[in-house]
Amino acid sequence: MVKNIAPHGGKLINRIVSMEEREILLDKAMHYDMKKIQLSSREMSDLDMIAVGAMSPLQGFMGKADYDNVVDNMRLSNGLPWSIPITLSATKDEVEGLKPGKDIALVDQANEVIAVLHLEEIFHHDKPKESLEVYGVDDRKHPGVDCVYKMGDYLLGGKVSVVTRAKPGDFSAYRLDPAETRALFVKRGWKRVVGFQTRNPVHRAHEYIQKCALEVVDAILLHPLVGETKSDDVPADVRIKSYEVLLEKYYPKDRAMLAVFPAAMRYAGPREAIFHALVRKNYGCTHFIVGRDHAGVGNYYGTFDAHYIFDEFDIHEIGITPLFFDHTFYCKSCNGMASYKTCPHDSANHVILSGTEVRRMLSSGEAPPPTFTRAEVAKVLSEYYQKLK
């Protein structure tokens, strides 16, 4: 019988309460003058991922011991690898009157109660240190660092009890929780599944490394991120559509699955590569693709820093097998897709287009060459960019 890989920490966490407990908690929130904290978009994404076990073994927002150890050592206080702080911030006014041991109502942007935080700790948010250790820079131009500085000056730690999940919004057909992807992998007999993370539209280089990975595993989970991203990133609905048209014609239907990844983008480069791998293990993936400049932004990280960071951990404690890929491209002399690992020819033979050049072509109605992106994908992207004119 096919079995799933064990979740990170050994157990898939579920912090969604029963209907009976839901009524009790909502009644307390409404009638016992429970303090309310409104969540940001990123905190909403984190809460939902904690709720369904995507961030196992976390059962809530990090307390000081876990936070400090993650920032300093990329490990939880119990020694388990974890590279990104998962935190809930609050302002000085919001923490006034709060005491550990009290419950706090967590509300969405419509001020509706979606969860209760069982407050265990209140501690200072060291923003400069978090920025330098997690993102490698203390530069507000870095979108991840900017997000840290926009947070409150205090962090609230404690387990959460989720009473109402965030409204699914778009992509409902692709919103699969870890328990659901795991069940589907077993049903389809997939023992070895590789996860692929992206926040960008798919192009031939992506397709090439995905299919290289497919040669050594049973199936692939295409898992594009649909949480909060930079304002100039291609919107999630356009990216999903590009995957749909690609899957329809160019992937084996019995060996590929598309599901959305609800996380917000941190742009933390190497550290986020570790985080993305661990979370995909919770979704049931046994392997994870790490490409060039994974989760990078601008020129803040080295091309292969996201590969090297895995050397800082024992592969058994990470528990998911990383598959590292070099820069890939179409080579005119090879007459096919290749990488710097496999192609002996001069770069003049390589079809490599900058993002700026691709956007210019799409905006003007000019299709990028089929050696760079499939015509079906180019059509989807061209329609989007021309609407922006």
pLDDT digits (tens, 9 = 90+) for 111-144: 999 999 999 999 999 999 999 999 999 999 999 9
CA 315 – CA 296 distance, rounded (Å): 23
* Mean per-residue pLDDT over the chain, rounded: 94
User: Which residue of the set 14, 73, 200, 349 is catalytic?
Assistant: 200
CA dihedral 128, 129, 133, 137 (to 10 degrees): 20
Per-residue pLDDT at 388: 80
Per-residue pLDDT at 232: 76
Q: Taking phi first (over 0 means left), then psi (-120 to 50 degrees means alpha), and beta for anything else, what does residue 124 get? A: beta
Nearest to 261 by CA among 176, 148, 158, 166: 176
Confidence of residue 234 (pLDDT cuts 50, 70, 90): confident
Class of domain 19-162: alpha beta
User: Which residue of the set 182, 199, 292, 374 is catalytic?
Assistant: 199
pTM for the predicted model, two decimal places: 0.95
10 Å CB burial of residue 41 (0-12, 13-18, 19+) is middle
Residue 200 among the catalytic residues = yes
CA 110 – CA 328 distance, rounded (Å): 45
Per-residue pLDDT at 202: 85
- Which range (44-53, 193-202, 252-261) has the least confidence? 193-202
Number of other CB atoms surrounding residue 46 within 10 Å:
25
Per-residue pLDDT at 387: 82
Same fold, 19-162 and 173-387: no
CA 53 – CA 66 distance, rounded (Å): 18
The per-residue pLDDT for range 77-117, each reduced to its tens digit, is 999 999 999 999 999 999 999 999 999 999 999 999 999 99
Per-residue pLDDT at 169: 65
CA 61 – CA 50 distance, rounded (Å): 8
293 DSSP assignment: T
Whether residue 283 is predicted with pLDDT greater than 80 in this model: the reply is: yes
Diameter of the chain measured on Cα atoms: 73
Q: For 142-161, what is the mean pLDDT?
A: 98
CA 90 – CA 37 distance, rounded (Å): 8
Which H or E element spans position 22? helix 19-31
Confidence of residue 167 (pLDDT cuts 50, 70, 90): low
Per-residue pLDDT at 168: 61
Q: What are the extents of the domains in the chain?
A: 19-162, 173-387
Residue 199 among the catalytic residues = yes
Whether the link from the prior residue into 57 is cis, omega within 30° of 0, is yes
Nearest to 280 by CA among 185, 155, 153, 139: 185
Whether residue 280 is predicted with pLDDT greater than 80 in this model: the reply is: yes
What CATH number labels 173-387?
A: 3.40.50.620
